[in-house]
Amino acid sequence: MAGASPHSRGVALIGSGSAQAAQVITNHQLGQRVETSDEWIRSRTGISTRRVSSPDQRLSDLAADAGRSALEMAGWSANSLDLVLLATSTPDDLFGSAPAVQAALGASNAVAFDLTSACSGFLFSLVTAAQYLRTGAMRRALVIGADQLSRFVDWDDRRSCVLFGDGAGAVALEASDDDGLLGFLVRSDGARGGVLNLPAIDSDAPLADDARHRRGGYRPIEMNGQEVYKFAVREVPAVLECLLERCAVSPETIDWLLLHQANQRILDAVADRFAIPRAKVLSNLAHYGNTSAATIPLVLDEAVRDGKIQPGHLLASSGFGAGLSWGAALLRWQGPA
Ligand code: UT7
């Protein structure tokens, strides 16, 4: 394995990849199901289409495809990986889908596990993987954000179904003397968690004569959109501001704002708060909607492959969502050697 000296304390972002769900669903199609319109959805969210997995497309397939494309960009063999970390709230298997991804990739030397933190999952996973690399315990990690919220969306609830889509994105991370994670802040507030949930079903069943058990299963997504919106426009600028101050970085030096893709109005509000020109705000909401843990690596990969993000560029990233959970990271893209 190439890259770092035994005492390196940094992490470098070397490669990115992504994978799309098979079906494109338009606003017009949603209008056939619920009372909504293309005009309402586009003006309130910025979303025109979203991707929805076909019934035979598993979460682990999407995640493995994204991971494979990040490995290809990095020029790494799968068996050089020490860690496969899968951020998801929608595993194929509640015991974890990362091992299935590890097997599909042939990453036989890597430990693989899931991390669940809704739409903050990728950011939290990136930071988590970086800790293993910084301590010298590991050298190479593949961090994947993948979600299939289409399995849990209430397709008859117009207040939430228009927002979400499926997808996967990945980043190849390596221990390095040249640090690409300049700083981070991560936050949780479970006391406010009731505004966005994918809750377990509340029902029980007989187990024996004098015992009952709680049944497994989940209800569809429940969301108070206005409260989530207020949370996002309050906390995302605050956590970014705190991080920029801590790292002594001024907003003008940021090349790209790499935010969780939830609503174009949220992206614009954050950019305006820091007087960052709209042209520096990465956005692919129009085509994908909110793919939860996948949004940040998906839009990152698109921008890298479009040639927007160049080696050395400074990225201010923030993820936020259910939990409530949120955080920010200041990243420098290195790219493949
Ligand atoms: O990762 C985090 C995931 N969640 C989010 O990011 C959600 C953040 N919140 C939002 O993005 C916005 O709050 C929404 C897009 C969900 C809603 O936009 P809004 O501007 O906050 O609309 P609203 O909830 O205040 O609703 C305004 C009106 C209501 O009608 P009345 O009561 O004024 O007659 C809604 O019933 O719009 C109605 N409405 C719709 N109309 C047509 C709500 N959803 C729809 C719809 N089509 N899909």
DSSP labels for 218-280?
Answer: BPPPEE-HHHHHHHHHHHHHHHHHHHHHHHT--GGG-SEEEE--S-HHHHHHHHHHTT--GGG
Which pLDDT tens digit goes with each residue over 172-228?
Answer: 999 999 999 999 999 999 999 999 999 999 999 999 999 999 999 999 999 999 999
Q: Is residue 45 predicted with pLDDT exceeding 50?
A: yes
Which band of pLDDT confidence, cut at 50, 70 and 90, is reported for residue 5?
low
Q: Is residue 65 predicted with pLDDT exceeding 90?
A: yes
Residue range of the domain that includes 311: 1-337
Identify whether 161 is a catalytic site residue. Answer: no
Q: Is residue 4 predicted with pLDDT exceeding 90?
A: no
Identify whether 119 is a catalytic site residue. Answer: yes
- Residue with CA nearest ligand 1 atom 36: 159
Amino acid identity at 272:
D
Helix (H), strand (E) at residue 216? none
Q: Is residue 107 predicted with pLDDT exceeding 90?
A: yes
Which band of pLDDT confidence, cut at 50, 70 and 90, is reported for residue 2?
very low
Q: Is residue 8 predicted with pLDDT exceeding 90?
A: no
Question: Which residues face 20 on adjacent strands?
Answer: 167
Which pLDDT tens digit goes with each residue over 117-162?
Answer: 999 999 999 999 999 999 999 999 999 999 999 999 999 999 999 9
- In the chain, the number of structural domains is 1
Could you tell me which of 174, 172, 190, 162 has the C-alpha nearest to residue 290?
A: 162
* Average pLDDT of the chain to the nearest whole number: 96
Identify whether 247 is a catalytic site residue. Answer: no
CA of 162 to the centre of ligand 1 (A): 9
| 42-71: average pLDDT | 98
Q: Which residue in 27, 263, 284, 290 is the catalytic one?
A: 290
pLDDT of residue 9: 85
Ligand 1-lining residues (CB < 6 angstroms):
36, 40-41, 44-45, 119, 158-159, 162-163, 223, 225-226, 228-229, 262-263, 290, 321
CA of 159 to the centre of ligand 1 (A): 5
Residue 170: φ, ψ to 5°: -150, 155
Contacts of 197-206 with C-beta under 8 Å, sequence gap 24+, read 197/221, 197/222, 197/223, 197/322, 198/89, 198/152, 198/222, 198/322
Only one residue has tokens 């820091």, namely 274
- Residue 263 has which token pair? 């609503």
- Residue 279 sits in a domain whose CATH number is 3.40.47.10
Only one residue has tokens 């992490």, namely 11
Predicted TM-score (pTM) of this structure: 0.96
| Helices 264-273, 225-247: inter-axial angle, 10-degree rounding | 30
Cβ atoms of 123 and 109 closer than 8 Å = no
